[in-house]
């Protein structure tokens, strides 16, 4: 089974801090790595990364993929209480079956 490991499992920060979340994986042949944000119940899509070294950015969030070292990071700058959520990393498997392998997630709590 594909392995996706996220770290840390949880963290607590204060508003304005910068957060870096890690996702490492053991699948060497994959199509894409994805990040989702889960605030209440339904995860919502953040980024899809397919190429190594190219940063994707959306407002205060950014992400980058390192295919050589087999990891991705998600950065959140100037955190706000609305960033409190579980952040999920997922790998799109090599087989053509549309299945994703998810990590356990990182719970981020941003205190005012």
Decide whether 27 or 100 has the Cβ nearer to another protein: 100
How far, in Å, CA of 42 to CA of 78, rounded? 24
Rg for the chain, CA atoms, rounded: 14
Nearer to another protein (CB atom), residue 69 or residue 97: 97
Tell the smallest beta-carbon distance from residue 78 to another protein (Å): 26
Give 79's strand partners.
none
Contacts to another protein from residues 78-107, by CB under 8 A: 88, 90, 92, 97-100, 102-105
* By CB under 8 A, residue 68 contacts another protein: no
For 12-47, b/e burial (b = at least 16 CB within 10 A) is: ebeeeeebebebbbebeebeebbbbbeeeeebeebb
For residue 48, state whether it binds another protein (rule: CB under 8 A): yes
Part in contact with another protein (CB under 8 A); list of ranges 17-25, 43-51, 55-63, 75-83: 43-51
Residue numbers 7-26 binding another protein by CB under 8 A = 9
């Amino acid at each position: 089974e594909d392995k996706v490991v996220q770290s840390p499992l949880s963290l607590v920060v204060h508003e304005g801090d910068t957060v870096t979340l890690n996702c490492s994986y053991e699948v060497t042949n994959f199509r894409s790595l994805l990040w989702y944000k889960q605030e209440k119940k339904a995860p919502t899509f953040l980024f899809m990364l397919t190429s190594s070294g190219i940063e994707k950015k959306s407002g205060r969030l950014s992400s980058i993929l390192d295919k050589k070292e087999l990891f991705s990071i998600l950065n959140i700058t100037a955190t706000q209480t609305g960033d409190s959520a579980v952040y999920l990393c997922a790998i799109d498997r090599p087989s053509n079956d549309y299945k994703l392998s998810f990590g356990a997630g990182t719970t981020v709590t941003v205190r005012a």
